[in-house]
Amino acid sequence: MTLSELIDLLASMASEPSEDIDGLSELDHGLQCAFVLARIRPHDLQLQVSGLVHDIGHRFGSDQQHGEIGAELVRPVLGDRVAGLVEAHVPAKRYLVTNDRTYRSELSDESIRTLAHQGGVLEAGEILTFLCSPHAADALQLRRADDAAKVPGRAVPSLVHWIGILQDAADLHDAGAMRDVATARDERVSGDAAP
């Protein structure tokens, strides 16, 4: 997927009703989630963008698999961190249900319904796996923003506002990939030069 294709996909989600809240499209939900994260972490573009794209996998798969599918779609464009956050937002929900007695009561009816399909509460090994993820803390922040991003009629910046930010996030990914290639090349050259 290219950045242009990702933007087209997001734009097309304006015509898809949210699975969770009447009066919201899937795009509305993503825009609200990104906006909430921008207010909480104004300098973390990758976290904000993860909020915008976290549910794109719904178009291509089940509630249980949408995080993994979405992660694979955005990874080539936005990199491992954004993809990791998209993938981790479902386990983050399961973690919060497991470890926060009040969290379940904060969920919408649809989120409670999908929780069963997503595996319900985490087992001990799953908790450890989630907490060992480099994305765990930010995934919990994304999950809380996801829950707060379900307000019909809420005024937030449109997709046009996010296009430059998506480009910046893609550039961060490209710069990191270029650094990795340069480092690997330098290591290879150093290894070739060794006696």
Q: Report the alpha-carbon distance of residue 37 to residue 52 in Å, rounded.
A: 9
Domain boundaries, the chain: 3-151+159-193
CA-only gyration radius of the chain, Å: 18
- The predicted pLDDT at position 192 comes to 52
Q: Is 3-151+159-193 a CATH 1.10.10.10 domain?
A: no
Range 151-177 average pLDDT: 89
Give the global pTM: 0.85
Helices and strands in the chain, H and E counts: 9, 0
Other Cβ atoms within 10 Å of 30 Cβ, number: 28
- The predicted pLDDT at position 180 comes to 42
Looking at per-residue pLDDT, the higher value among 180 and 140 belongs to: 140
Q: Report the alpha-carbon distance of residue 50 to residue 84 in Å, rounded.
A: 9
Token pair in block for residue 166: 């998506």
Q: How confident is the model at residue 176 (pLDDT cuts 50, 70, 90)?
A: low
- The predicted pLDDT at position 114 comes to 83
For residue 139, which of 163, 156, 122, 124 has the smallest C-alpha distance? 122
H/E/C letters for each residue in 43-86?
CCHHHHHHHHHCCHHHHCCCCCCHHHHHHHHHHHHHHHHHHHHH
- The predicted pLDDT at position 178 comes to 44
Is residue 169 scored above 60 in pLDDT? Answer: yes
pLDDT digits (tens, 9 = 90+) for 23-65: 899 999 999 999 999 999 999 999 999 999 999 998 998 777 8
For residue 162, which of 5, 10, 1 has the smallest C-alpha distance? 10
Other Cβ atoms within 10 Å of 157 Cβ, number: 12
